[in-house]
Structure 1
């Protein structure tokens, strides 16, 4: 075989390896950047979650809202303090849901982290939301807080052991890398 043919084959092979390597690293970098975006958004939204006031409002919405107020007048019929708690808590989760809808936040990550809280809030506010939709003249598939409703449905469908399974998988990955024993 002529040396120029061998040289061309070797240089072509090196070029192919370089292109494949570039593609692999580019895909990995894009995936890492996407996760970095998720983390910063999640950290910003979870900042509110650390406030005592938010937890007081959350407890109010989950335990006292339906006991103290009739959903017949919808969200608009709630007194100021109840409406403030409703808006603070429900729109907090609606913000997460909207980010997930537009692909700015991984909904599985979100649902895994906040599963129980999302489900309990939706269960507490659902009658108010459904009545508010009626008062707005929306049909049965109304759009008022529909992103949050969908997020709550996904959270309810997620098996309770999902968090435990995700943690076990993370431990396995770290163990394989030698970062955890």
Structure 2
């Protein structure tokens, strides 16, 4: 084989390796940037979660809403205190759900972090949402459907998911994989 053929083969191989390496690093960088976006969105939305007022509304929705109010009038028929708590809490979770539906937030991350709370809120509001959908008539079936989907995903996630993830991370660290 003459030296020019060998040279061409070697340069072509180097070019292929360079392209493959660029593609791999580009994909990794894109994935890292996407995770960075998820983290900043989560931090921003969880700021509300630290407020005492939010927890007061959350407690009202999960503990008192159904006991003190009849779902027959739907959401709009709730008295002021109940409606204020409902909107504060439910639309907070609906914001997360919408971001997850449109791929701007990793739904597994979201559901892992807020699983128990998502489920307790959905259980408390479900009769009110069902009635509100009826009252809204055609097209009303979409009312809070993103939050409903988020609750469905949360229900499918095993209760021990967080502990399992922590154990998995520890195992990886012990093996030096992270």
Deviation at 1:138, TM superposition (A): 3.8
Structure 1 partner of 2:66: 66
Structure 1, unaligned runs of 5 or more: none
Map of 2:39 onto structure 1: 39
In 2, the alpha carbon distance for the partners of 1:51 and 1:123 equals 23
Q: Secondary structure at the match of 1:159?
A: coil
Aligned to 1:169: 168
Pairing 1:1-181 to 2, within 5 Å after superposition: 1-138=1-138, 142-177=141-176
Q: Distance in 2 between matches of 1:100 and 1:82?
A: 27
Cα deviation for residue 178 of structure 1 reads 7.3
Q: Distance in 2 between matches of 1:18 and 1:51?
A: 51
Return 110-119 or 130-139, whichever deviates more. 130-139
Q: Please report the RMSD computed on the Cα atoms of aligned residues, expressed in angstroms.
A: 1.4
TM-score by length of structure 2 reads 0.96
For residue 173 of structure 1, report the CA deviation from its aligned partner.
2.6
Per-residue deviation, residues 88-132 of structure 1 (Å, max 9, x unmatched): 000000000000000000111111110000000000000000001
Query: What is the deviation of 1:174?
Result: 2.6
Deviation at 1:172, TM superposition (A): 2.2
Structure 2: state its 5+ residue gaps.
Answer: none
